[in-house]
Amino acid sequence: MTPENDYLSHIYDLAKQRDPHKPEFHQALLELLIALTPVIEKTPSLCKRGILERLIEPERLIQFRVAWRDRDGETRVNRGYRVQFNSALGPYKGGLRFHPTVNSSIIKFLGFEQTFKNSLTGLPIGGAKGGSDFDPRGKTDNEVMSFCQSFMSELFRHIGASTDVPAGDIGVGNREIGYLYGEYCRLMNISEGAMTGKGIFAGGSMLRTEATGYGLCYFAESMLAGLRNGSLKGKTIIISGSGNVALYAIKKAQAFGARVIAASDSGGYIIDESGIDWALLRQIKERERGRISEYASRKPGASYHEGCSGIWSVPCDVAMPCATQNEISLESAQQLINNGAVAILEGSNMSCTFDAVQLIMEEPVLYVPAKAANAGGVAVSGLEMAQNAGHASWSYEKVDDMLQSIMNSIFHRCIDAAVEYGHPENLLIGANIAGFVKVSKAMAWQGVV
Ligand code: NDP
C-alpha cells in the first residue's frame, strides 16, 4: 500500500530507496503519510520548504562498537546506536533499548515516532532514540555494569542536558540508567540532567517509573469520558507484557476499577479471571527478574499458556498492548474485534501491524496510536528535565497532576485535529496531524537547516 496523494507517495518512495532494508521505519512513515493526506489537501503550506524531505532524514545517526568483559573474562562485542532525529522543538529526547532484536531499522522507526510523540506532549523536546543488541536478561549485575560503562564511553560525547537526553526503554530500567548515568558523570566531571529516569535520590522525578503506564490509563479515561460518556470502571482489560509500562498500566487500571485478567512476557501469557495480583506479578517480574509462568504456579486459579499472541484471543473490553512493536497481527486484531473490544490503546510503540491498524479503523473501535497513548513517559521525563534545570524537586502529587493534565491535553489535541481535518473520532489521523503540525511549523520558522 502507498499513500494516494502523489507527493506523499513520492516521499514514501524516496525513503524506501534510501533505506531499502528498514521495514519498521517504512511502516511508521507510511502511517504518518497516509494520515497527512487531509493536510496536503487543506493546508499544503505546512509541507512547503522541503519539510517532509527533511523530516524523514535523521539529523544524525551514530553507530558504535561496544566491547565489554563477561563473567568469565571473555571479550564480548555488541553494536550501539543513537539516532538524533529532529531537534526543531528542543533537545533530542528518547529512550535507550537493550534487546537482541535492536537494529538500525528499529532505532530509526522509534526515533521517527518519538519526534511526533514529543511534539504532542506540548513540551519543548525534540526526538531521538538509541540502544543496542545487548540482552540484559540472564546477565549478572557486573556484566550489565560493564556493558553500560562501555556503551556510555562512546555515547557521552553526543549527549548533554541541553543537547540530547536519553532515558529507558525495553531492557533499560532503573539499574541500567544508574550504571549509564554514573559513567556519564565520571567521564564528564559534571552532574547534570543528561539522562532521565534517574533514581529519586540522584535528581530523578517522582512518578517517572509509573508515568507511561499511568499516562496510558489517564488517556483512556479522558477518551472514554469524552467520546463514549464512559470510563475504565468495570471494564475487562488485557495488558500484554509485564515490564515497566505493563506493570504500571495494570496498577492504574485496577485503581480506576477495571478488571485486568491477562498479562504476558516473551515466553507466554497468564490468565487470572479473578484479576491480576499486582504485587505478586511485580515481585516476580520486577524484583526477581523471573518468568511470568511462575505467576500461575504461585496464584491459585491462574493459568499459563505458551506463546505471546494467544493473549489477544482472550475476550476483553479494552486491549492495551504494552510489550513490543507489531505484537498485534491482523489475526489478533480480528480476534479482538470478534470478541467485542471497544478500545485498543498502544502502550508499546507501534503495537499493531499495518494491516491490523487498517482493519481496526474499519470498525467502531477506538484506536489510539502509541505516539499519543504512551506519551506519559516522555512527558514526565520532560518534567524531570525542568526540575533538574531549576535544581528543584517536585512532589508526587504535583507531578501526577501535571501528568494527568498533559494526557488530557494530548487527547484534546488529537481530537481537535481530527475534527479540523474532517475525521472526527479518528485518533490515528488526529495524533499524526497534531504531532506533525507543530514540528513542521517549528522547522519552517527556523529556515532550511
Ligand atoms: P520492559 O523491558 O520493562 O518490558 C518489556 C516487556 O515486553 C517484558 O515483559 C518483555 O518480556 C516483553 N517483550 C519484550 N520484547 C518482546 C518480544 N519481542 N516479544 C514479546 N514480548 C516481548 O520494557 P518497557 O515496559 O519499558 O517497554 C515496553 C514497550 O513500551 C516498548 O515498546 C517501549 O518502546 C514502550 N515504551 C516504553 C516507555 C517507558 O517509559 N519505559 C515509554 C514509551 C513507550 P520478557 O520479560 O520476557 O523480556
Full-model pTM: 0.97
Query: pLDDT tens digit string along 4-18?
Result: 899 999 999 999 999
Task: Assess whether the C-beta atom of 321 lies below 6 angstroms from ligand 1.
Answer: no
Residue 77 CA to ligand 1 centre (angstroms): 23
pLDDT of residue 398: 98
Q: How many helices (H) and strands (E) does the chain have?
A: 17, 12
pLDDT digit string, tens, across residues 379-436: 999 999 999 999 999 999 999 999 999 999 999 999 999 999 999 999 999 999 999 9
CB 101 within 8 A of CB 134: no
Nearest-CA residue for ligand 1 atom 35 is: 348
Nearest CA to ligand 1 atom 29: 348
> Mean pLDDT for the chain?
97
- Candidate of 24, 175, 324, 327 to mutate for ligand 1, largest count of ligand atoms within 8 Å of Cβ: 324
pLDDT band at 49 (very low <50, low <70, confident <90, very high): confident
Dist. CA 370–CA 352, nearest whole Å: 10
Give the CA dihedral 424, 428, 434, 439, nearest 10 degrees: -160
Distance 428 CA to ligand 1 centre (A): 22
Q: What percent of the chain has pLDDT over 70?
A: 100
Check: CB of residue 143 under 8 Å from CB of residue 166.
Answer: no
What's the confidence (pLDDT) of residue 92? 98
Catalytic site residue 398? no
Please tell me the predicted confidence (pLDDT) of residue 64: 98
User: What is the structure's pLDDT at 182?
Assistant: 98
CA of 449 to the centre of ligand 1 (A): 35
Active-site pick, 22, 108, 129, 252: 129
Hey, how many other C-beta atoms are within 10 angstroms of the C-beta on 311?
27
- Using CA of residue 42, residue 43, residue 47, residue 48, what is the dihedral sign? positive
**Cα 323 to ligand 1 centre (Å):** 4
pLDDT category, 47, cuts 50, 70, 90? confident
Ligand 1 in reach of 322 Cβ (< 6 A): yes
Grid cell listed for 175: 539499574
In this prediction, residue 1 carries a pLDDT of 84
Mean pLDDT, range 162-184, rounded to an integer? 98
Query: CB of 143 within 8 A of CB of 107?
Result: no
Q: Is 276 helix (H, G, I), strand (E, B) or coil?
A: coil
Beta strand ranges found along 284-422 (DSSP E): 303-306, 318-320, 343-345, 366-368
What is the per-residue pLDDT across 250-295, written as a single tens digit (0 to 9) for each? 999 999 999 999 999 999 999 999 999 999 999 999 999 999 999 9
Q: Decide: 284 in ligand 1 pocket, CB within 6 A.
A: no
415 lines ligand 1 (CB under 6 A): no
**Cα–ligand 1 centroid distance for 271 (angstroms):** 19
Angle at the Cα of 117 from the Cα atoms of 111 and 123, rounded to 5 degrees: 115
Structure confidence by residue, pLDDT tens digits, 104-151: 999 999 999 999 999 999 999 999 999 999 999 999 999 999 999 999
> Residue 46 — pLDDT band, cuts 50, 70, 90?
confident
